[in-house]
């Protein structure tokens, strides 16, 4: 209808989603995330009011959080908890070892944050916080993985004045708590000494209100493939390719150089050049890893490359330059892919923050004043004109309008808002003028919580690919120690030939480099991701490929995912002797000046069926009910059924054109003549039960007909759900729409279960509940309102073209062509990829183990160690990974 008509947007019952009237429903304390924060700065704690544990187990009605940076193990946590537990009035205690924080529920009438702080210090642990500290966010865009974060953490750990820190690779930031007299420049220098540039800093009042900074513009993201690292990678690949051609295609054995008695063929020179160019950044990072005592992937790959070169120089005839060049090139490509994916992810929070306006028009003493949103106070009244974004969470105190809540609730059509109704920051006032009373401070509104949830969910998500890195951090040191022992102990202790045992030691050192082991996962990931990309599925990293293959349940958003996300006309019911064309002609005329999605759907349908328009005069919207206009000089109306009841029509006794088969089930035998409908009891409820919105069209004297509009289910939705269930997955639909609409769609597509009336917080809670039930859950969605749930799930899948940029960037996987039928293919590909990765990892480890056992007995030479343990296994794991490319969506 008209953007001013304010008709109910919910197809079906016409009721708003329950969640829209109580966004905090289900919170333990009843106040949701907007709990009032009490000042406890003097104690170094942050307290927040609440009711404590509703079961009565918790004694407290307040909560305090303390920074205890030295509480870094289970033993420490136990000591601190035992000490605090001695206090009277202490309830639940949550020691968070990984972040060095202690959260305590307590009764403020029986104890205080100062008492708790004293007991923590009495256990021997310093408490950070209070007026003597400050929090600073460092922008470190190159810190884009757990390995990078580890080096930055090691640097911060030794920096003077640093009390605590939290690295956030997904945001490219490090949040550091400093002593008041700490030198920020020295902290920045410490991070940069680890090899990571700090591009900016902000304090507690950062640019986004959360103390976080986000780097990476579109230009920066696109330049990844034209960066210096990328150019060196492509040059390295060129040298590697040329070397392969010289050695295997041309068979060139010509010696072109000799250094210190070591001869080099054309191919070897090319391999060395490839390793030098591609490995430059790797070796640089490996140097910083060693400097910061971090035996991470950079150190391991540096060790692998240098070991291959060193072994080649020492062993003489054996050439391992090809392996060194291959490792340098493949790992560099992997790093570029990781950077590109991470830069894309970082843009999601920026788009979310851009939804909220920077300024608001506040009414004070009857005067309109434009002020920054941050300056709004609770109980202020702001004016929101048509087309403007609502700046805060609040309650309408004057005016009525249709509000597009899609950014928050995901509802397919605008929602009518009148005095007393709740509105959310970031939603758009489509039509009338509104005055809204501010009920949440800036940074504590629904949109800000969405931003916070996305960031927290991403920063806390487990990296599934870190097994290789964790294992290598033990494997390499142990093997290096073994290599030194093999080289030194026999000659020193038993007088054996030192050359022989030195070579044995070098051989063990080569085996200490987990080349095939390290590459076993990346090559499988590259194969799987490449195969998926060719079939229209974008997977943003190996972690997500692995995660998708292990999910037990799939949560699917309704609007824009299971449905098309676009309203279309589904039914036209002519009444009182009119034809369908007559009804559409009048409906088109009435809606021709409308910007409402329902009106646009009707006009589009009429145009598509060739129905001509009519001359329109005196167009007027009747807020909350419908529209009126003169069509060819005759007054006409269109709107809700209740609108026509107010006009005096009897909707319980309406004549149809004829008892056509399509509507024969509605024809009632309750009057003297056949062909009569009871719209109130039969037709309208039937259409609404199918998830449709009903628009009545008529003149002042006669009802001309009904037009039903709905968001159509995707043609492949039911088949997709069936295939997922055949694969053993449970499928649950999540939606912000009302119960009736949700039930109708759920029955059409055949899901196992559905949850209706959900706000973003509720969708997160629903996903968390599924995680508790199934352990591993995929979330499929498209809207900004889906972003927190996408980030919370084990793996988030966004519908590509139909999805908002935020959902697309927040998600881990995108269906590029909006082809829902690719979901079963995605699961099958990921499931097989997991099997291939496991096969590659255990096979490479087994070969290493067998070779290591044979070295001291003289059964394994350097050449065999490299050919079997490195080159052979590299070829083996690569060939095994390539099998993933054979999987097709139509299989």
Which residues are part of the catalytic machinery? Answer: 557
Quickly tell me which residue has 């306006």 as its tokens.
Answer: 357
> Which helix (H) or strand (E) is 335 found in, with range?
helix 321-354
Q: Which of 463, 506, 465, 460 minimizes the C-alpha distance to 483? A: 506
Tokens of 405: 């809540």
Quickly tell me which residue has 């050359």 as its tokens.
Answer: 499
Tokens of 804: 């908002």
Q: Which of 251, 308, 253, 246 minimizes the C-alpha distance to 276? A: 308
For 742, other C-beta atoms within 10 Å of its C-beta total 24
- Taking each helix axis from N to C terminus, what angle separates 822-854 and 466-494, rounded to the nearest 10 degrees? 10
SS (H, E, C) 673-721: CCCEECHHHHHHHHHHHCCCEEEEEEECCCEEEEEEEEEEECCCHHHHH
β-strand partners of 635? 630
Query: Would you say 585 and 592 are in contact if contact means Cβ atoms under 8 Å apart?
Result: no
Q: DSSP letters of 583-606? A: HHHHHHHHHTT--SHHHHHHHHHH
- Who contacts 835 (Cβ-Cβ below 8 Å, separation ≥6)? none
* Four-residue CA torsion sign, 824, 825, 831, 834: negative
Instruction: Tell me how many degrees the CA angle 694-696-698 measures, rounded to the nearest 5.
Output: 170
Report d(CA 287, CA 306) in Å as an integer.
12
Query: Would you say 734 and 789 are in contact if contact means Cβ atoms under 8 Å apart?
Result: yes
762 CB burial (10 A radius; 0-12, 13-18, 19+): buried
End-to-end CA distance of the chain, in Å? 45
* Four-residue CA torsion sign, 618, 620, 625, 626: positive
Tokens of 273: 């050049």
Tokens of 289: 């890893």
* CA–CA distances in Å: residue 146 to residues 100, 268, 315, 332: 18, 34, 36, 17
Report d(CA 370, CA 360) in Å as an integer.
6
For 715, other C-beta atoms within 10 Å of its C-beta total 11
98 CB burial (10 A radius; 0-12, 13-18, 19+): exposed
Residue 43, classed as helix, strand or coil, is: helix
| DSSP label of 856 | T
- Taking each helix axis from N to C terminus, what angle separates 515-534 and 873-881, rounded to the nearest 10 degrees? 20
Q: Which of 681, 699, 688 minimizes the C-alpha distance to 576? A: 699
Side-chain half-sphere CA neighbours of 482 within 13 A: 19
Laid out side by side, the sheet with 428-429 consists of: 415-417, 401-404, 428-429
Residue 478, classed as helix, strand or coil, is: helix
Quickly tell me which residue has 């808002």 as its tokens.
Answer: 417
CA 839 to chain centre: 29
Query: Would you say 8 and 693 are in contact if contact means Cβ atoms under 8 Å apart?
Result: yes
Tokens of 673: 């003549």
Query: Would you say 590 and 631 are in contact if contact means Cβ atoms under 8 Å apart?
Result: yes
* Dihedral in degrees, nearest 10, Cα atoms 445, 561, 662, 639: 30
φ and ψ at residue 740, rounded to 5 degrees: -65, -45
Query: Would you say 461 and 791 are in contact if contact means Cβ atoms under 8 Å apart?
Result: yes
């Amino acid at each position: 209808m008209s953007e001013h008509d304010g008709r109910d947007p919910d197809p079906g019952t016409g009721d708003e989603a329950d969640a829209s009237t109580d966004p905090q429903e289900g919170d333990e304390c009843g106040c949701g995330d907007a709990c009032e924060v009490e000042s406890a700065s003097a104690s170094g704690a942050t307290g927040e009011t609440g009711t404590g544990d509703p079961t009565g187990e918790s004694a407290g009605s307040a909560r305090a959080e303390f920074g205890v940076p030295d509480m870094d193990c289970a033993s420490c946590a136990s000591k601190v908890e035992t000490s605090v537990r001695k206090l009277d009035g202490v309830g639940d205690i949550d020691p968070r070892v990984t972040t060095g924080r202690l959260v305590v529920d307590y009764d403020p009438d029986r104890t205080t944050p100062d008492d708790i702080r004293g007991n923590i210090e009495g256990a021997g642990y310093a408490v950070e916080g209070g007026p003597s500290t400050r929090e600073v966010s460092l922008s470190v865009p190159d810190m884009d993985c757990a390995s990078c974060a580890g080096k930055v953490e090691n640097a911060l750990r030794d920096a003077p004045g640093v009390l605590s820190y939290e690295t956030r690779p997904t945001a490219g930031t490090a949040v550091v708590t400093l002593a008041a007299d700490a030198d920020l420049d020295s902290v920045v220098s410490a991070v940069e000494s680890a090899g990571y540039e700090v591009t900016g800093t902000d304090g507690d009042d950062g640019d986004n209100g959360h103390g976080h900074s986000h780097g990476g513009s579109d230009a920066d993201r696109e330049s990844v493939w034209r960066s210096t690292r990328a150019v060196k990678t492509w040059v390295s690949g060129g040298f590697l390719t040329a070397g392969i051609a010289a050695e295997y295609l041309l068979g060139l054995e010509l010696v072109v150089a000799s250094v210190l008695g070591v001869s080099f063929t054309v191919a070897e020179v090319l391999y060395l050049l490839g390793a030098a160019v591609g490995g430059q950044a790797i070796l640089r990072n490996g140097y910083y890893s060693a400097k910061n005592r971090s035996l991470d992937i950079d150190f391991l790959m540096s060790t692998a490359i240098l070991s291959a070169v060193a072994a080649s120089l020492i062993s003489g005839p054996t050439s391992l330059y090809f392996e060194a060049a291959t490792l340098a090139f493949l790992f560099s490509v992997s790093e570029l892919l990781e950077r590109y994916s991470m830069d894309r992810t970082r843009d999601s929070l920026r788009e979310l923050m851009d939804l909220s306006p920077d300024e608001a028009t506040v009414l004070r003493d009857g005067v309109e004043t434009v002020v920054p949103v941050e300056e709004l106070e609770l109980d202020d009244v702001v004016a929101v004109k048509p087309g403007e974004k609502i700046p805060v969470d609040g309650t309408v105190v004057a005016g009525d309008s249709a509000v597009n809540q899609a950014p928050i609730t995901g509802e397919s059509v605008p929602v009518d808002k009148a005095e007393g109704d709740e509105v959310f920051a970031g939603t758009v006032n489509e039509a009338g003028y509104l005055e809204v009373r501010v009920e949440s401070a800036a940074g504590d509104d629904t949109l800000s919580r969405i931003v916070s949830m996305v960031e927290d969910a991403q920063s806390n998500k487990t990296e599934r690919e870190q097994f290789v890195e964790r294992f290598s951090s033990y494997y390499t040191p142990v093997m290096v120690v073994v290599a030194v022992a093999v080289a030194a102990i026999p000659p020193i202790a038993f007088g054996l030939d030192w050359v022989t045992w030195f070579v044995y030691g070098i051989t063990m050192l080569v085996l200490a480099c987990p080349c095939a082991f390290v590459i076993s996962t990346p090559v499988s990931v590259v194969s799987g991701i490449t195969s998926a990309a060719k079939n229209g599925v974008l997977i943003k990293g190996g972690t997500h490929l692995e995660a998708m293959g292990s999910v037990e349940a799939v949560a699917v958003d309704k609007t824009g995912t299971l449905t098309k996300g676009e309203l279309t006309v589904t039914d036209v019911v002519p009444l009182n002797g009119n034809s369908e064309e007559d009804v559409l002609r009048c409906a088109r005329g009435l809606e021709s000046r409308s910007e409402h999605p329902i009106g646009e759907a009707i006009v589009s349908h009429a145009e598509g069926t060739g129905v001509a328009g009519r001359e329109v005069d005196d167009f007027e919207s009747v807020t909350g009910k419908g529209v009126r206009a003169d069509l060819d000089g005759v007054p006409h109306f269109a709107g809700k059924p209740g609108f026509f009841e107010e006009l005096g029509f009897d909707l319980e006794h309406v004549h149809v054109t004829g008892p056509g088969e399509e509507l024969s089930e509605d024809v009632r035998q309750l009057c003297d003549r056949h062909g009569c409908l009871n719209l109130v009891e039969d037709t309208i409820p039937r259409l609404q039960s199918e998830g449709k919105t009903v628009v009545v069209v008529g003149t002042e004297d006669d009802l001309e007909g009904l037009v039903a509009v709905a968001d159509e289910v995707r043609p492949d939705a039911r088949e997709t759900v069936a295939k997922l269930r055949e694969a053993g997955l449970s499928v649950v639909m999540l939606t912000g729409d009302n119960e009736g609409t949700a039930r109708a769609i759920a029955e059409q597509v055949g899901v196992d279960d559905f949850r209706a009336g959900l706000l973003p917080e509720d969708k997160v809670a629903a996903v968390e509940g599924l995680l508790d039930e199934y352990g591993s859950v995929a979330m499929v969605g498209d809207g900004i309102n889906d972003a927190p749930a996408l980030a919370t799930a084990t793996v988030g899948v966004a519908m590509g073209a139909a999805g908002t940029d935020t959902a697309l960037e927040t998600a881990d996987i995108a269906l590029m062509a909006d082809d829902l039928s690719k979901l079963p293919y995605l699961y099958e590909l990921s499931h097989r990829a997991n099997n291939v990765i496991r096969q590659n990892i255990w096979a490479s480890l087994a070969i290493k183990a067998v070779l290591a056992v044979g070295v001291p007995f003289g059964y394994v030479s350097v050449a065999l160690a490299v050919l079997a343990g490195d080159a052979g296994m590299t070829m083996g794991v690569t060939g095994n990974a390539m099998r993933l490319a054979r999987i097709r969506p139509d299989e």
